[in-house]
């Protein structure tokens, strides 16, 4: 038996977010604008642990997420999204670095497309991918959101270094 998709929304520094679950894992984290499928069931309590971890992240108190994830994608996309989770907090990789990490340095364009289709933004940190020259490049959530996320991580990283 398939469980219904549950969802919740939350406010964040990058706007309203939509989180969905299959009852076992997070399946989507989308930024507005988004559409809620009429067949989905709102369940704020079930998604509360996910919201808590995101709140901690946005407050600069969390660098890593320990949430079960179940993004839907091709085998290639899943490899790219797994590699994205290896980018350390507060750091960035180029598309070339990401393609090299998955074993195909010539797949930069395909990596970029997979990155753009990431269904679990923020937690699967596609915002940490930049151009080979160090420039900020396209981001499905918009360049301003990408800047906000990277700045948040840099500020948190700098604050942590000052405490050491």
Q: What is the pTM of this model?
A: 0.92
Residue 81, Cβ density class (10 Å: 0-12 exposed, 13-18 middle, ≥19 buried): buried
Instruction: Compute the distance between CA of residue 23 and CA of residue 163 in angstroms, rounded to an integer.
Output: 39
DSSP 8-class letter at 98: H
CATH class of the 75-163 domain in this structure: mainly alpha
Confidence of residue 157 (pLDDT cuts 50, 70, 90): confident
Instruction: Compute the distance between CA of residue 73 and CA of residue 110 in angstroms, rounded to an integer.
Output: 13
Beta strand 6-10 pairing with 17-21 = antiparallel
Q: What pLDDT is attached to residue 99?
A: 96
Do 129 and 34 touch, CB atoms closer than 8 A? no
What token pair was written down for 97?
């670095």
Map out the domains of the chain as residue ranges.
Answer: 6-58, 75-163
Q: What pLDDT is attached to residue 74?
A: 98
Asked if 126 is an active-site residue, the reply is: yes
Q: What is the mean pLDDT of residues 70-95?
A: 97
Q: What is the mean pLDDT of residues 105-128?
A: 96
Q: Which of 126, 129, 148, 152 is catalytic?
A: 126
User: Which of the pair, 140 or 13, is modelled with greater confidence?
Assistant: 13
Q: What pLDDT is attached to residue 161?
A: 63
What token pair was written down for 129?
């991918």
Q: What pLDDT is attached to residue 114?
A: 96
Q: What pLDDT is attached to residue 5?
A: 97
Do 13 and 141 touch, CB atoms closer than 8 A? no
Alpha-helical regions (H) of 37-74: 48-58
């Amino acid at each position: 038996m398939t469980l219904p998709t549950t969802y919740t929304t939350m406010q964040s520094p990058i706007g309203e977010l939509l989180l969905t679950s299959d009852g076992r894992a997070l399946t989507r984290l989308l930024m507005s604008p988004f559409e809620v499928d009429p067949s989905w069931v709102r369940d704020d309590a079930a998604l509360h642990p996910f919201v808590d971890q995101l709140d901690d992240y946005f407050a600069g108190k969390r660098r890593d997420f320990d949430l079960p994830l179940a993004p839907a994608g091709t085998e290639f996309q899943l490899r790219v999204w797994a590699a994205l989770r290896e980018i350390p907090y507060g750091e960035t990789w180029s598309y070339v670095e990401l393609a090299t990490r998955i074993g195909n340095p010539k797949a930069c364009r395909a990596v970029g497309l997979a990155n753009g289709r990431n269904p679990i933004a923020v937690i699967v940190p596609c915002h940490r991918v930049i151009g080979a020259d160090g420039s900020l490049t396209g981001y499905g959530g918009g360049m301003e959101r990408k800047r906000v996320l990277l700045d948040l991580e840099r500020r948190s990283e700098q604050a942590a270094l000052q405490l050491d």
